[in-house]
A and B are shown apart, each in its own frame.
Chain A
Amino acid sequence: MPILETRDVTKRFGGLVAVNQVCMTVNNNEILGIIGPNGAGKTSFINALTGIYKPSSGQVFFQDKEITGLPAYKIAKQGISRTFQNLRVFSNISVLENVLIGAHCRIDNPFHHIFLRPLRSRKIEHQAYEKVIALLKNVGLEEKKETLAKNLAYGEQRILEICRALASDPQLLILDEPCAGMNSMEMDTLADFVKKLRNEGNTIVVIEHNMRFMMTVSDRIIVMTAGAKFREGTPEEIRNDLEVQKVYLGEQEAERC
């Protein structure tokens, strides 16, 4: 059953078509990988899904409801949570508070309750705290809960960002280049973690460059080039696709220069 569906989503920046009529679906409880060379429009596509950009045209459906062009906070409330390619943790506050902020829209504490029903308000906040502590334990950041996010190691900050995204109990989790800047050991840990999340029932979209990571993690892969969807298939199919190889080899050569 598809949880997310896009129909001809397009995003233009002036004359540049960053995302060109992309149609795709994400099924419940799968890991969908999106790969493609730099500048292919993967991030822009995700931004158009999550409300950071308004799509220039096309439609997005999430759990059978149209969410096209909704503001980011509404989409987040509906259950899509994400991380950013260039790491956006809240750097001057503690790990704990970072994750608590992630749980923001799941803390049912109306403003007037702070004063009119202080006990209930405090109880709700405490429940959120305990949930977040459990989550931090799960990823091994519990001891560092009072550390400022900026003082964490880079890999830990990446984990923290994912943890923050998970705190809102998302129906769909989108990770934009989660391995960027990680060494291969951290990458393997992350791959296990992502697979574990899927086994716990999460649905995940991963954008990544690293083919090895993608091949081990993904159930299905979409290849994008120049803003458009280029191929779609199982990791096997994608690996053996000559044209995909061409796109990638071309890029790897370019990167070597």
Chain B
Amino acid sequence: MDMSFFESKMGRGLLFGGLTICLLLTPTFVTDIYILSIFNLMIIYAILCMGLNLILGFTGLLSLGHAAFYGIGAYTTAILMTRFGFGFVAAFCASAVLAMIAGIIIALPTRKVRGDYFCLITLAFGEIFRLVATSWIEFTRGAMGIVGIPIPKIFGLQIVTETHFYYLGLGILTFTYLTLRAITKTRYGRAFIAIREDELAADTMGINTSIYKIMAFSIGCLYAGMAGSFLAVYQTAVTPSNFRLEESCLMIIMVIVGGMGRNLFAPLAGVAVMTVATEVFRSTAEYRMLIIGLIMILVLLIRPQGIFGSSSFKN
């Protein structure tokens, strides 16, 4: 296929415009609530995976605890809205900030610890988060989760239907994309890539690699917090089982299937493929892990750069 048209400025503009209109009009064509709910699910994963791509695809840090930051966002919104009477906007911002702070703390060890060990730290953190969410009953209501999260209001508008949530999600996704694009087009994005490619060489280019790793990681977590906050009001409930290691793996595999790195949209292909796949295989839930596992293995063995990826980790 000739891609040069899509690479020209006009072609890209047309493609973008068309896509935007399609996305904005989706709810008018898609009236089926079930389909729309799948779109909403995809939007959540899209936000998560765009953020994760900054961590994994740009900076080359493997995080097996991304679901925990997603969870921090969700629980923050749930607790603030049900118990402290916060409005959605305030809770949303608090969730994002809290997830980011947690991200900064967890990423601190990247200063000293090797990549594969850091991955274990994120894994342990993810599990600790889940354990706390399950066992600290007074605060999180344990395995039952927090239910009855109020209907979010934004500047007087009530967000109730699937369509409303669709537009809210799309707004957050757009924000995610625009900010990420702005960041990655500057020296910051290039510094992240330099770290992925060769940390030591990056260091000798004057890049303070410790700070930049923390930065990439925590920015990625910020978006996870937003996605979590959205999930909380969308589901009106959060339970620890939303944030298992399996979820982190699913996000990683979405990013990889779509393609890591420069192309910010690439992970979305993975989100679409994997969300549809999990829906299709929903009836065979007992094979779920088998399927996810096989996809993880096969994609990496056969096409590690993903569907649209420009670069794999290192070749």
Chain A positions within 8 Å of B, measured between CB atoms, are 50-52, 71-73, 76-77, 81-82, 84, 88-93, 97, 100-105, 107, 109, 111, 114-115, 118, 121, 125, 128, 150, 164, 168
Contact A101 B182 (CB under 8 A): no
Contact B187 A92 (CB under 8 A): no
Roughly how many angstroms separate A164 CA and B190 CA in the complex, as a whole number? 13
The answer, yes or no, to whether B203 is at the interface (CB within 8 Å) is: yes
Contact B190 A100 (CB under 8 A): yes
Contact B315 A97 (CB under 8 A): no
Residues on A with beta carbons closer than 8 Å to the beta carbon of B203: 51-52, 71-73, 76
Residue of B nearest to A106 (CB): B206
Contact A92 B197 (CB under 8 A): yes
Within 8 A of A (CB), among B175-204: 179, 182-183, 185-188, 190-191, 193-194, 197-198, 200-204
Instruction: Select B204's contact among A76, A103, A118, beta carbons within 8 Å.
Output: A76
Contact A114 B198 (CB under 8 A): no
Report A82 CB to chain B, min CB distance, Å: 6
The answer, yes or no, to whether B205 is at the interface (CB within 8 Å) is: yes
Contact B191 A52 (CB under 8 A): no
Residue of A nearest to B190 (CB): A101
Residues on B with beta carbons closer than 8 Å to the beta carbon of A91: 197, 314-315
Report B9 CB to chain A, min CB distance, Å: 16
Residues on B with beta carbons closer than 8 Å to the beta carbon of A107: 186-187
Chain B interface size range: 20 to 34
11 residue pairs of the A-B complex, CB under 8 angstroms, read: A52-B204, A73-B205, A73-B206, A76-B205, A91-B315, A92-B314, A101-B205, A104-B207, A105-B206, A105-B207, A164-B205
Report A205 CB to chain B, min CB distance, Å: 14
Roughly how many angstroms separate A115 CA and B208 CA in the complex, as a whole number? 21
Contact A73 B208 (CB under 8 A): yes
Instruction: Select A101's contact among B191, B208, B312, beta carbons within 8 Å.
Output: B191
Q: CB-CB contacts of B201-238 with A at 8 A, as 1s and 0s? A: 11111111100000100000000000000000000000
The answer, yes or no, to whether B134 is at the interface (CB within 8 Å) is: no
The answer, yes or no, to whether B242 is at the interface (CB within 8 Å) is: no
Contact B187 A125 (CB under 8 A): yes
Residues on A with beta carbons closer than 8 Å to the beta carbon of B215: 111
Residues on B with beta carbons closer than 8 Å to the beta carbon of A114: 182-183, 186, 188
Contact B206 A88 (CB under 8 A): no
Roughly how many angstroms separate A140 CA and B44 CA in the complex, as a whole number? 47
Roughly how many angstroms separate A178 CA and B212 CA in the complex, as a whole number? 29
The answer, yes or no, to whether B37 is at the interface (CB within 8 Å) is: no
The 3 closest A-B pairs by CB, nearest first: A105-B206, A76-B206, A90-B197
Instruction: Select A88's contact among B185, B186, B201, beta carbons within 8 Å.
Output: B201
